Amino acid sequence: AQSVSQHNHHVILSEAASLELGCNYSYGGTVNLFWYVQYPGQHLQLLLKYFSGDPLVKGIKGFEAEFIKSKFSFNLRKPSVQWSDTAEYFCAVTLSGGGADGLTFGKGTHLIIQP
């Protein structure tokens, strides 16, 4: 079974700092990769996704992620964070073409942006 590791459980940054959140998955086959965000008190929303093609994907709110197949990684980046980016971030994976089985999530990274 696939698994997802998020290395940073808690990250505290100042506004305008650059952000990189690590995500590694363990599966040798073709995968679909996602980053979801959960703002305080809200449900999960999709930030970005990778299915195929250009390994650098851009999402909403200035976020981007790079898929590096050789490293089994899908790290999330943002050049300059804002206070409103304070949230929980989840990396998730599902098998490509695997039908309707669910997403496998990492344990999440709690990001706090200090004004």
Partner 1 sequence: NAGVTQTPKFQVLKTGQSMTLQCAQDMNHNSMYWYRQDPGMGLRLIYYSASEGTTDKGEVPNGYNVSRLNKREFSLRLESAAPSQTSVYFCASSENGLVYNEQFFGPGTRLTVL
Q: Which residues bind partner 1 (CB under 8 A)?
A: 4, 9, 32, 34, 36, 42-46, 49, 51-52, 90, 92, 94, 96-108
Please say which residue, 63 or 90, places its beta carbon nearer to partner 1. 90
- Report, in Å, the least distance between residue 7 CB and partner 1: 13
- Check the CA dihedral 70-99-21-1 and report its sign: negative
In the complex with partner 1, which residue's Cβ is closer, 50 or 85?
Answer: 50
Closest approach of Cβ 16 to partner 1, in Å? 29
> Please, what is the minimum distance in Å from the beta carbon of residue 109 to partner 1?
10
The smaller minimum CB distance to partner 1, of residues 17 and 86, is found at: 86
Residue ranges with strand state E in the chain: 3-5, 10-14, 19-21, 24-26, 31-38, 45-50, 56-58, 64-68, 73-78, 87-95, 104-105, 109-114
Q: Please say whether the beta carbons of 50 and 42 come within 8 A.
A: no
